[in-house]
Structures are given as structure tokens and as C-alpha cells.
Structure 1
Amino acid sequence: MKFLLAVSSQEFSESTLRMGSKVAKSFGAQLAVVYVGPKPKELYAGRVSLARDTLAKWEIYHPGIEVLRWAFDDLKTSGFLEDSDDNGFNPLNMVEEKGRYRMALPGSYGQDIDLILREGDIIDELRRECSEDEYTVSIIGGSKGRNMAHDLLQYLPTSVLVMKNVDLDRHYRILLCVDDSSATDRAVRFGATIAKQMNFPVTIMTVSKTEEFGPGYSGAAEAASQHLESQQVDHEQKFITGDPVNSFIETAGEDHLIVMGSSSKSALAKFFLGSKPMKTLEKANCPILVVRDK
């Protein structure tokens, strides 16, 4: 299993990297840290050669190298990477492949993480990155504007974890949104894994617009509870009548990680018909993991 984690700078990506790497570790996943930025003007001007023996100069010319170095050091500081006698980060080991630049890391470092630099539009480049490797989850920051996270959720083929309003000192609960959709079972398994490994209690929430909960809803809620019990995860269960999105947002507040499934409905259908995950993402003030049904 492999997770993609997008970073832009230490200032804006520190909480995304810290919490995102913990989630990846919960699954025992390999982590690819990806920086996407514009091509520096020096490269356009031809003043920097892309030959292997000149890549060390990128520390002067390319901000992506500095960001990836910070991410590598932070992952060691946080304990995601165990410190090693290997040399580790070295811009001379940045090699070009598949329209991107990847650092060849020595020893055990290379088994745990990839450090990748891509140049261009962030949405296009992350889509290309997902097409080059088999990622399970893409982890992105929760920008102030909704458009980027909204578009990435709509177009990336992976499950997506959006780190909205993350507070590293806050102890989170998981709000596990359960209905009769095809992705619910996978969302339950993802939520249970995170809860067990990160010691997050879980609220299972099933919301119906009417007072009647059909067999699909009640069956899915019962299956979710049984799975959490089998994993010895502390949880409670709620059945709410009302608008699903508003109920999720009101319950989640700022101290929950929302976990919910998303069907494989096409982007065009989602644009015209809407979707609970997209509407929840737009209104939420906390992290949200949207799990694809594959």
C-alpha cells in the first residue's frame, strides 16, 4: 500500500505532513512526498543544466529541493523514519524519470518513502503522479479556498484525505459516516484502522432524511459496529433524522476526522447531481477522508 502526500512549504504543509504521515503509518504504507511547483526561471533561461552532476545547484535555483529536504528531516524528527547511518538526503541523487524527478534514497530510507518533484499545475501533476504509481490515498492540505481540494477530490482516482484546520495538539475522534452506498464497507475498514492505531474513539453516524431507516442503512450500521468491536475500537452509534451533510458538520465540529465513502460516479455526474462527500468537504472545519469504493 502506498500513500501520496503533497507538500508546498514548511509554513503551509507542516501539519499535513505530521498528521498525514501518522495516518500512513497506521496502514504500514509507503509514503511518497510530492512537491509540485513552477519551473524556476533559471531553468527556462537555460542557465542551469539538468545533467546529473549539476543537480546539487538546485538548492540555489529550485525551491522544491529545499521543501523536500525539510520534509525528509521532519519525518526523521517525528519518528516516521528511523535515523540511519546512511547519508540520506542528497540533491545529487535526484534522477529524472517519467516526467518527474525522484530522489534515490539509500538503504531503509528508500523502502519507507519516495521524495518526488514535479513541475507544472498542481492538479494536473498530481493526476499524472497517480497514473504513474498505484496509490491508495492522496493526502493534501486544506487550503483556504475550496477549489483546489474540491477539484482534487473530484478528479484524483484515489481516496483523498484533506487536512482542513488540523491542530496537532488536539485529540481527535473519528466521525464514521455510514449509509448503504457501495463505498461504506471500505470506509469502515479505513476508519477502524486509523482509530485503532492512533487511539481515536469513533462515532458511527447514520443519517436519514425521514424517520425510517431502511434495511440497507440499518444493516450497514450494524456491520460497522460489529467490525469496530472485532478490532476492539471504542465507539458509539447514532441514528439521526435530518439533512445528512448538515448533521455531519454539526457533529464533527473541529475535533473530528470525518471518514466517509464515495461512489465511483463520474465527475460530470457529480457536477450536476452533487455528492455528500463534496458538500461535506465544502462545509467541514476539520479533516476529512473520502474513501473510494475500489
Structure 2
Amino acid sequence: MRFLLCVGGVEPSVETVRFGARIARAFEADLSVLYVQPRVPHAVREEMRLAREKLEEWEIELPGVKVLKAAQKILLQEGFVRTGPSGEAVVRHAMKPGVRGAYELHIYGIHGENLRFRLREGDIVSEINKEVESDQLDLVIFGASQQRHILQKLVHFIDCSILVAKNPKDVKYTFLICTDNSPTSRRAELFGAKLARFVNSPVQLLSVAKFKTREHMAMECAERASNSLTKAGVAHSTIVRIGNVVD
């Protein structure tokens, strides 16, 4: 599987980076960490071209490179990165341009997973969408952005499963899985069950019938999902309600 973790701001959130890496580890997935910055002015772009060797050594002080460098440090400290005898990351290739439309540093995770740090320039939504299309991703992970309009666009236009990590902390969570017996719902159940089992968290199953006459269908759906979680060894409870799903 291939996951994408999007970071932003002046510094990446330690909790968000750690949370994304834990999810990737649970699924033994390759992980790309992406930062999208505004287009670089021509003068700076020329500096980048002339100083490519410095860029490969993380020495050119561009905002996006700083953020990705900080994210790499977090993952290294948390033990997610394969290291050599001196404690340095095992590098497949240093930061270089032109890798599927982005600058990229490619290292290895602790179990041999591909761990990439990628820098794109342009509109955030468009560039993330290009990343999804170019790498055939299974999941995109976002921190809860204060720019809600950007997050809303991402949810609507990114053609991939999305996980929004809002204020992730090192606490025990309860997972809410909504089921309606659709194929996408069943995939969500499998994904949620595996993640909940990895982080040792209980699950609350919710099945909603829009009308009283369909309550038996919601109950059957909840029972099927409950049996699936029981087989997976996931502690859970079940709720069946009547009304609007959003409410």
C-alpha cells in the first residue's frame, strides 16, 4: 500500500507526523511526506539550479526543504527510519529534482518500506491531486488545517481515501465506523478494524436507517459488520439509529 502524509506551515506538527507514520507502519505501507509551496520566483529558481549540490545536502534554505527536513528528523527520532552504523538515515537517493514532477529525497523505513520526502510548487489542491494520480495512492493523511476552505476542497476533489488527523495525541482513541453495507463501507470497516487493532483501540459501529421501516436492514448491516470485527479480534459496541445519517 502507498500512503501520503501532507505537511504544511513553518514547522510540521510532531503529533501529525508521528500519527501518519504509525498508520503507515500498521499497514506496512510506503509513505511519502509532501510539502507544497508557492511557485518559487525565477531568481530563486536560478539559485536552486546553481546550488543543486547544496540542495542535495539539505543546505539550501527554502521553506519547503526546512519543513521536510524537520519531518525527517521527527521520524528519525521516533525510530521509523532505517539507520546506518553512525545513526544516519540509509539513503536511496539524495534530494533531487524531476522525480514525477517534484523534488524528492528517498530513504528507507525501519522494515524496508520506501520513505519519500517530496517538495512540489503551485496550488495546494492541484499539486496534491497530481501526487495522488502519479503514485496511485491508497490513502492521503492531512492535519486539521486552520484554512478550512482548503480542507473542504481537498475532501471534494482528491480522488483517494482521506484521513483527517485533528489534534492527534498519544492517547487511547475509540474509533467510530459507520456502515451501510456498500462496497466502500465494507472497505472502511476492514481498514478501521486493522488500524484499531494496531493501536489497541475499541470500535463503535454505527448503522443508521432513514425510516423506521428500514430499521431491520440497518440491524442486519450492523450484525454483519460486528461479526467481521469479532473475527478480527477487535473489541467493539454496536449502535443502530433511525433518522438522518448526518444528524
TM range (shorter): 0.7 to 0.9
Residue 77 of structure 1: CA displacement?
1.7
Determine the structure 2 residue equivalent to 1:222.
223
TM-superposed CA distance for 1:82, in Å, is 4.4
Distance 1:233 1:106 in 2: 31
Alignment of 1:145-164 (within 5 A): 145-164=147-166
TM-score (norm 1): 0.74
Asked if the contact 1:40–1:62 (Cα under 8 Å) also holds between the matched residues in 2, the reply is no
Same amino acid, percent of matched pairs: 34
- The reply to whether residue 49 of structure 1 matches residue 49 of structure 2 is yes
Q: 1:214 to 1:109 in 2, by over 3 A?
A: closer
State the Cα RMSD in Å.
Answer: 2.6
Cα distance in 1 for partners of 2:110, 2:172 equals 31
Distance in 2 (alpha carbons) for counterparts of 1:18 and 1:74: 7
CA separation of 1:83 and 1:214: change in aligned 2, threshold 3 A: same
TM-score (norm 2): 0.87
- Per the TM alignment, residue 157 of structure 1 is displaced from its structure 2 partner at its CA by 1.5
The letter for the 1-side match of 2:5 is L
Work out whether residues 105 and 116 of structure 2, in 8 Å CA contact, stay in contact via their aligned partners in 1.
Answer: yes
The whole-number CA distance in structure 1 between the counterparts of 2:108 and 2:77 is 18
- Alignment check: 8 A CA contact 2:175 2:203 kept: yes
Q: Counterpart of 1:239?
A: 240
Q: 1:7-62, CA deviations, whole angstroms, 9 ceiling, x for partnerless residues?
A: 11464532221112111211111111111112344744633325643425863431
Post-superposition offset of 1:174: 0.3
The one-letter code of the counterpart of 1:104 is H
* Residue of structure 2 in register with 1:104 after alignment: 106
Residue in 2 that maps onto 1:290 = none
Q: What SS class does the counterpart of residue 237 from structure 2 fall into?
A: strand
What one-letter code is carried by the residue in structure 2 that aligns with 1:136?
D
Alignment of 1:118-267 (within 5 A): 118-164=120-166, 166-214=167-215, 216-246=217-247
Gaps of 5+ in 1: 247-294
Identify if the C-alpha distance between structure 1 residues 189 and 103 changes in structure 2 by more than 3 Å, giving closer, same or farther. same
Provide the rounded CA distance (Å) in 1 between the counterparts of 2:64 and 2:43.
13
| Aligned amino acid, residue 185 of structure 1 | R
Q: In the TM superposition, what is the alpha-carbon distance from 1:108 to its structure 2 partner?
A: 6.1
Aligned equivalents of 1:69, 1:29: Cα separation in 2: 21
Matched residue pairs, number? 244
Q: Aligned with 1:192: secondary structure?
A: helix
CA contact (8 A) 2:3 2:30 kept: yes
